[in-house]
Amino acid sequence: MIKSVLIFLALILAAKAATPQQWKSRIIYQLLTDRFSRGNGDNSGCADLGNYCGGTFKGITQNLDYIQNMGFDAIWISPVPVNYQGAYHGYAAIDLYGVNPHFGTEQDLQDLVNACHSRGMYVMLDVVANHVGPVSPDFSVINPFNKSEYYHPYCQINNWNDQHEVEWCWLGTLPDLSQENQYVRSTLKSWINWIVNKYGFDGLRVDTAVEVPKDFWYEFQASAGVYAVGEAFNGDINYVSGYQGPLDAVLNYPLYFLLRNIFAYGGDMYQARDFMNSMKAFKDQTILGNFLDNHDNPRFLYQNGNINRFKNALAWSVVTLGIPIVYYGDEQGFNGGYDPNDREILWPYLKNTNSDMYQFVTKIVKYRKQMQLWNYPWVERYADHNFYCFSMGNAVMAFTNTDNTIQRSVTYNPYKEGDVICNIFWSGDCVTITNGALNVVLLNGEVKLYMPKSMMMEEK
């Protein structure tokens, strides 16, 4: 009886915990529903990554421990509507009100959301309001947009610097919805309100945000009633920041490109200083969606196989300003290249929780949570060509993009004389603040995340 009451209360609290401020402390694990777990005991491979491989809602539900044991308290799942044939990713809907039968039933989806809520985890749904599946010219098969008048006339997006073309033309063969049409506009708004409330989703990832007029997003966001982070696939801070306002937040593509440049390609680490100054263009950096890898780009380890560079970049994305999003498989060192090779199956690795990367991800995720980094401002502490150090509260993070030994005396730090500060990756690696300095030594390209020794006993 007591257990039932606790689960009920958890469901109530989770359903209400959906504002941007409540998402700030969350750490998101992004997965592709079709690639996480089949849920039927079949752990065989997948012959064609360009088609369905068999992952289901039940498979996710059965393996939430794998995610939560790393410290994640939110998941981002694929779009759930019925999709065009072979569209395992979910971005080619043909029936907004149905549930993709490859993933499971409505009840399976509801069970997944309920299971997450009972654990205190949020569920973020990926949604598409820009286009539907490639069915032209037979729109009659689309529910509810079954007439050609609901779409922009066919034209290809060729010039991504022409905003009118980006918003009015088609992405490949995907029919582009006309949000100027009042039926389309009102139906999309009522649909998002319906699906959020029917299943109790806590947040949204909004696909192709820049391909829809901003004025629509204000209304869509209001109808959703939960935190929404939009995809603005662009590295221009001034351009991307324009979509925070119409939507609560955007995926931090500028940070993605910075981290790739510095750590994968060996760019000058001084860039981070100018970058952080430019990021002031955003209304609120603390609720941006930070990521290093995702389903639309080759994985970091495909572009640079150096595991220490990867660890530096991944740690930065998790501990800096914003809401961290870790792409499934990063915790297993996946190195897939271009789509669909960056969308590997995970189920052969679900018992591999002692791997170096799984343990690394666990440490950086739990570090962020223990130090409550979201409550503190970001402060640069030291910068040069191959070394960068910043702090948030009394947490100090030191990074490098070289394999050479790095030794730096960080005199501008948040500690006092005599404090003992330790590296979370090895409890025996502690330094005493002497003459006001934190002496940092990085060997073989390692990253170090520091905390006061007095807090190390709290580390789980």
* Cα first-last separation, the chain: 30
32 and 127 assigned to the same domain:
yes
Q: Are residues 235 and 140 in the same domain?
A: yes
Decide if 266 contacts 245 (C-beta within 8 A).
no
Residue 274, C-beta contacts closer than 8 angstroms, at least 6 positions apart: none
Rounded distance, CA 189 to CA 79, Å? 16
CA 231, 232, 238, 239 torsion-angle sign: negative
Give the strand pairing for 395-400 and 426-432. Answer: unpaired
444, 408 in Cβ contact below 8 A? no
Same domain for 395 and 299: no
Please indicate, yes or no, whether residues 226 and 213 belong to a single structural domain of this protein. Answer: yes
Angle at 110 between CA 59 and CA 348, to 5 degrees: 10
CATH for 447: 2.60.40.1180
Give how far Cα 376 sits from Cα of 169, 252, 278, 320, 439, Å: 42, 19, 19, 10, 23
pLDDT attached to residue 11: 47
Among 235, 243, 280, CA closest to 259:
235
Active centre residues (catalytic)? 207, 231
Distance between CA atoms of residues 89 and 343, nearest Å: 9
133: CATH: 3.20.20.80
Whether the per-residue pLDDT at 458 is higher than 80: the answer is no
Q: Cα–Cα distance between 340 and 63 in angstroms, integer?
A: 23
CB 100 within 8 A of CB 81: yes
- Is residue 388 located within the same domain as residue 306? no
Q: Looking at the structure, do residues 307 and 358 belong to the same domain, yes or no?
A: yes
> CA 123 to CA 39: how far, in whole Å?
19
Structure token digits, residue 24 = 């700030």
- Binding-site positions read 131, 205, 235, 296, 343
Range of the domain at 97: 2-375
pLDDT confidence tier of residue 14, bands split at 50, 70 and 90:
very low
Residue positions counted in the chain: 460
Query: pTM to 2 decimals?
Result: 0.95
Cβ distance 293 to 342 under 8 Å? yes
Q: Quick one: 28 and 47 in the same domain?
A: yes
pLDDT tens digits for 388-402? 999 999 999 999 999
Q: Looking at the structure, do residues 294 and 423 belong to the same domain, yes or no?
A: no
- Note the Cα 425 to chain centre separation in Å: 24
Beta strands in 176-291 (DSSP E): 203-206, 227-230, 249-250, 289-291
What's the pLDDT score for residue 457? 60
pLDDT of residue 16: 58
Binding site as annotated, residues for substrate: 131, 205, 235, 296, 343
Cα–Cα distance, 77 to 85 (Å, whole number):
19
pLDDT given at position 378: 98
Q: Is 407 in a helix, a strand, or coil?
A: strand
User: Of the residues 333, 359, 375, which one is the last residue of a structural domain?
Assistant: 375
Among 329, 349, 375, which residue terminates a domain? 375
Same domain for 328 and 203: yes
Q: Are 414 and 359 contained in the same domain?
A: no
Q: Which two tokens stand for residue 349?
A: 């690795």
DSSP class of residue 261?
I
Q: Are strands 82-83 and 93-95 parallel, antiparallel or unpaired?
A: antiparallel
Residues 83 and 169 in one domain: yes
More confident residue, 9 or 336: 336
pLDDT tens-digit series, residues 183-197: 999 999 999 999 999
Quick count: other Cβ atoms within 10 Å of Cβ 442? 23
Question: Tens digit of pLDDT for each residue in 316-334?
Answer: 999 999 999 999 999 999 9
Query: pLDDT, tens digit, for every residue of 84-137?
Result: 999 999 999 999 999 999 999 999 999 999 999 999 999 999 999 999 999 999
| Final residue before a domain boundary, out of 375, 395, 412 | 375
Instruction: Output the pLDDT for position 9.
Output: 43
Q: Is residue 7 predicted with pLDDT exceeding 90?
A: no
- Domain count across the chain: 2
Q: Within a 10 A sphere around the Cβ of 412, how many other Cβ atoms?
A: 13
Same domain, 360 and 385: no
Mean pLDDT value across residues 5-12: 45
